[in-house]
Amino acid sequence: MLGSRGGLGLNSVNNQIVIQGRMSSTRLPGKTLMELAGRPVIDHVVKRCRAALSVDRVVVALPDASVDDSLYQWCVDNEVPCVRGSTEDVLSRYIKALNAFPCRTMVRITADCPLVDPGLIDSLLFMHAAMGNDYTSNVGPPDFPKGFDIEVVGADVLRRVDSIAQLQPHREHVTLYVRERPGEFKSGSMSYGLAMPDIRLTLDRLEDYQALQMIFDKLVSRQPLCSLYEILTFLHEHPEILALNSAGVPFKLPTGFAQGR
């Protein structure tokens, strides 16, 4: 387990992202180290997370299975703080990350989102703090494109959930216990309004990889930190890309969207 630059994980921070990653995807094995524009997917995810102005530290949480050794070695080689834990009990893996790298507020990101928007992370962290929430996300209603899911949760809240959640779905899906109990936790949700849940900008299948390759080669290589709005404008101009992995999904931006971004 890698410690933070300040020591063995003893330095607490305010806002911390924990990226959940693995190499054993059944649909696209090894996807986290597949290359986009000459860099592995995990590198893009880490860099875009680090670009969020409100974020103090980015940590990667991996399973301790041998198949994930290469991903762990990437973290070592690139000085990315990392913890390893249970493959199935993902919640316990997050608690290990909080124990090794303490923080007040944790942001959950998955490693199959190489286009995650730093500005959107900042917006959700601001909303979370301003409302005094236990949990804040943009996953309900699910109207953002796939690949932009962000969840913010208080570290003390996640520790409390860990102490009482026993069912396997609650251990595997880190925030499910909180999301199922809106009356028990103070929660907030950010809605996008354009309802694009079928637009796939995540990496889960070979077709997703083919679409992302084109986006990275044609856009991200020129604008490494392009926003969600710039990406959608680009896709509006290149509908052939979404045809690769979002076939049959109508995609038309509102009039004036590009001018107003």
Confidence label for 73 from pLDDT (cuts 50, 70 and 90): very high
Q: Which amino acid is at 200?
A: R
CATH topology assigned to domain 13-189: Spore Coat Polysaccharide Biosynthesis Protein SpsA; Chain A (3.90.550)
For residue range 229-249, list pLDDT tens digits in order.
Answer: 999 999 989 989 988 998 666
Q: What angle do CA 181, 187, 193 make, to 5 degrees?
A: 115
Long-range contacts from 79-88, C-beta under 8 angstroms, 24+ separation: 79/2, 79/5, 80/2, 80/46, 81/2, 81/3, 81/4, 81/9, 81/57, 82/1, 82/2, 83/1, 83/2, 83/59, 84/1, 85/61, 87/22, 87/24, 87/63, 88/168, 88/171, 88/172
pLDDT at position 42 over 80? yes
Residue with the larger pLDDT of the pair 74 and 5: 74
Quote the pLDDT of residue 55.
98
pLDDT at position 152 over 60? yes
Bridge partners of 194? none
Residue with the larger pLDDT of the pair 238 and 250: 238
- Asked whether the beta carbons of 91 and 161 are under 8 A apart, the reply is yes
Taking the C-alpha atoms of residue 144 and residue 146, their distance in angstroms, rounded to an integer, is: 6
Quote the pLDDT of residue 261.
44
pLDDT at position 253 over 90? no
Question: Which of 35, 42, 17 has its CA nearest to residue 94?
Answer: 17
In the chain, where the domains are located: 13-189, 206-260
Confidence label for 191 from pLDDT (cuts 50, 70 and 90): confident
- Asked whether the beta carbons of 95 and 158 are under 8 A apart, the reply is yes
Taking the C-alpha atoms of residue 137 and residue 156, their distance in angstroms, rounded to an integer, is: 17
Backbone angles phi, psi at 183, to 5 degrees: -80, -20
Strand bridging mode 57-63 / 13-20 = parallel
In the block, tokens 């925030």 appear at 175
Quote the pLDDT of residue 7.
37
